[in-house]
Amino acid sequence: MSTPGVSPVPSDFGPEILRPRDSGEVAAAVRRAAAERRVLTVRSGGHGFWKPEAGGLTIDLRNLASIEVGEPSGDGRIVRIGAGAQWGEVAAALAPHGIAISAGDTASVGVGGLTVGGGIGLLVRDRGLAIDQLRGAQLVTADGGVLEVSDTENAELFWAVRGGGGNFGIVTRLDFAAAPLEGVLAGELSVDGDQAELLRAVRDTLETAPRALTVTYMDVPPMDPSAPAGARLAVTWAGTDPAALAAVLQPIMSVDGVQGEAVRIAYGDALITMPHDVDEPNPPMLSVNGLFAELDDALIDRLVAFRRAHAAAVVFLRSLGGAHGDVAQDASAFPARSASWFVMAVAFDIPGLLDDAEREKARSELAAIAQGRLAAYANFADPSSNPDAAVFSEPEAWARLRALKAKWDPQNLFAGNHNIPPAG
């Protein structure tokens, strides 16, 4: 059975991969997947937790990568972006206009995938999530229909796709309100001293810091040139006044072993460049993440101890608050607007790296780290470590999402994700 305009692409992984060129071809591919009862996987143009299923059908959106910048309006400049574009491309296209959209933290992340999961980025405290800047989208539904969704058109679907993941259709185009941004101050501070002491200083500083400041803490093993081994604190300041940033960072810089500075750069240059092939699946791992109301001493101690206990482990934190908390909880499907920190811990489980006892120890430690979280964040969650998608929603939102799933995808065609099962 063939689909007009959609040609199979050979893949080493076995299943068939389609790379449609417009929403009509996406709709044709969806109808084909439904008719053939194929397991359907959808990916936008970048890296992420994706795994084609044997005998399944993958719709790869990388050809839907247009970026159109509109004229200035009262809501900023509307930028229409194909779901298969990557955020590094978007930042580069917007820079000449002096505008930006707060997205993720990596240049090779696809626009569609990051956005439907929420989008916690380097400007999250200044501008909120990627979905907070979204004004509309084009969506291909399970019956092959092509819909426009916004606050005034198919509003329930628009609510659902902002944080509900790819459970309700395939987003093919996203319309964002981009706001002016002259530049940012960004840099990485090396951390050679007591990581727990640093994290407490960072926590205390962020409690009163201006929302222009977002920080990201990483402690990683040797992996690749984009992520040198050890602990470091990445700083992003939405502005260009180094004196203002230096005053805010003074308590952090006074911690023993902290060195470095932030310099003025274009926002796009602050995004991480990943050297790996985005078509390669991520390595096996044990992981947990959470959106936390506060970064208390017990959580800090658990994170530091976990990293010390495992040679191939990662600890990652990003500050929230500010604009992230300005949005009403029921305005979108994204959970935990009251959270002030995002936390993730990972132990890589590459064959031969962990024995059974070490694996069970890591699982126990990860469960302890997750205690007290308000919710988990789908975009940073390995599906194999997070089988229950309810952890990515507020309880009230979960019931609403399941009811919408039953209405728009009763056969659960869009199941190759953190799946929301239809109600019933």
What's residue 73's pLDDT? 78
182-208: average pLDDT: 96
What's residue 5's pLDDT? 39
In order of their start, the domains of the chain are 67-181 (3.30.465.10), 184-385 (3.40.462.20)
Q: Helices marked H in 340-417 — which ranges?
A: 356-370, 395-408
What's residue 4's pLDDT? 36
Confidence of residue 71 (pLDDT cuts 50, 70, 90): confident
What's residue 13's pLDDT? 40
274-299: average pLDDT: 82
- Look at 81 and 221; give whichever has higher pLDDT: 81
- What is d(CA 299, CA 181) in angstroms, rounded to the nearest whole number? 35
Which pLDDT tens digit goes with each residue over 347-392? 999 888 899 999 999 999 999 999 999 999 999 998 776 778 999 9
Residues in the chain: 424
Which pLDDT tens digit goes with each residue over 115-162? 999 999 999 999 999 999 999 999 999 999 999 999 999 999 999 999
> Exposure of 406 by Cβ count < 10 A (0-12 exposed, 13-18 middle, 19+ buried)?
middle
Q: What angle do CA 138, 142, 144 make, to 5 degrees?
A: 70
Task: Collect all residues with Cβ–Cβ distance below 8 Å to 110 and sequence separation of at least 6.
Answer: 43, 44, 45, 46, 47, 48, 61, 62, 83, 84, 85, 86, 87
**For residues 45 and 85, is the Cβ–Cβ distance under 8 A?**
yes
Inform me whether the pLDDT recorded for 50 exceeds 70.
no
User: Taking the CA of residue 411 as centre, how many other CA atoms within 13 Å lie in the half-sphere pointing to its CB?
Assistant: 13
- Look at 399 and 193; give whichever has higher pLDDT: 399
- Look at 139 and 282; give whichever has higher pLDDT: 139
Which pLDDT tens digit goes with each residue over 92-125? 999 999 999 998 899 999 999 999 999 999 999 9
Q: Which of 15-19, 60-64, 398-402 has the lowest mean pLDDT?
A: 15-19
Confidence of residue 7 (pLDDT cuts 50, 70, 90): very low
**For residues 167 and 155, is the Cβ–Cβ distance under 8 A?**
no
Inform me whether the pLDDT recorded for 6 exceeds 50.
no
